[in-house]
Amino acid sequence: MDQKGSDTMSERLVSDTNRNLSLNNEAITVQIWRSGSKARNHDKQQPTIVRFVGDTRNRLKPSLPRNFFGNALARTLTPICSSGEITSNPLGYAAQKVQEGIDKLTEEYVRSQLDFLASQENIDWVRGSLHFVRVLTGLFFGNPNFSIVSWLSMPVYDADFGWGKPLYMGPGDLNEDGKVLILPSPSGDGSAIIALRLQTAHMDAFQKFFYEDI
């Protein structure tokens, strides 16, 4: 996705919501949710959510040290919406739901997650995901949700261990239907790479709707 497409979606979101947003991340997230819901062609009443993570370094008081090394993330979710609401309303509707998920990431919310995990004797189950679906009876129409992580702010192409800058950095595995990574392009021109996993039957439709709606 090039910079022009991202800017166009960002402008539409500002127009729809009349507020300033974390434009690139939010614009791309909203477009993925909307296009993916169209491509999956679920019933209009099918519940759908987006799960994502937020950096907690500056959400805690006191903040984590600047030289802290490692992940400091908390999971959050959008409110439950119907597929029909996401696909039929303007982009600003889905953007509002994404923002509501972001707004949950208060210090109290983050600490409640830490306290809950600390109270568990075994946290292996936490390593699971809302995407793992076990179907015992009936037909399986696919996962209606998305798990979206953005690495746009990570300086992944600044690393140089003596062999020059990386030519490409990306995920080694996307193990779940609906898992998405938004990556900066190695070209450095502001464009982004969207790595995602959908059912094979939905990939062409996703690409069609994604660019059609820009």
pLDDT band (50, 70, 90) for residue 133: very low
Rounded Cα distance between 56 and 63, Å, is 8
Q: pLDDT (tens digit, 9 = 90+) per residue, 23-79?
A: 578 889 999 999 999 999 999 999 999 999 888 988 888 998 988 888 888 999 999
Do residues 72 and 57 make contact, with C-beta atoms less than 8 angstroms apart? yes
Q: pLDDT (tens digit, 9 = 90+) per residue, 99-111?
A: 999 999 999 999 9
Q: Which residues contact 162 (CB under 8 A, 6 or more apart)?
A: none
Q: pLDDT (tens digit, 9 = 90+) per residue, 4-23?
A: 655 665 565 555 555 544 45
Identify the pLDDT of residue 209: 95
Tell me which range, 1-5, 161-165, 180-184, is most confidently predicted by mean pLDDT.
180-184
Rounded Cα distance between 44 and 52, Å, is 23
Q: Which two tokens stand for residue 125?
A: 């189950």
For the cut 50, the answer to whether the pLDDT of residue 135 exceeds it is no
Domain locations along the chain:
3-212
Q: 3-212 domain in CATH 3.40.50.1950?
A: no
Angle between helices 23-40 and 200-212 (to 10 degrees): 130
Of the candidates 94, 56, 54, 59, the residue with the CA atom closest to the CA atom of residue 78: 94
pLDDT band (50, 70, 90) for residue 131: very low
Q: pLDDT (tens digit, 9 = 90+) per residue, 140-177?
A: 667 899 999 998 888 888 888 899 888 888 888 888 89
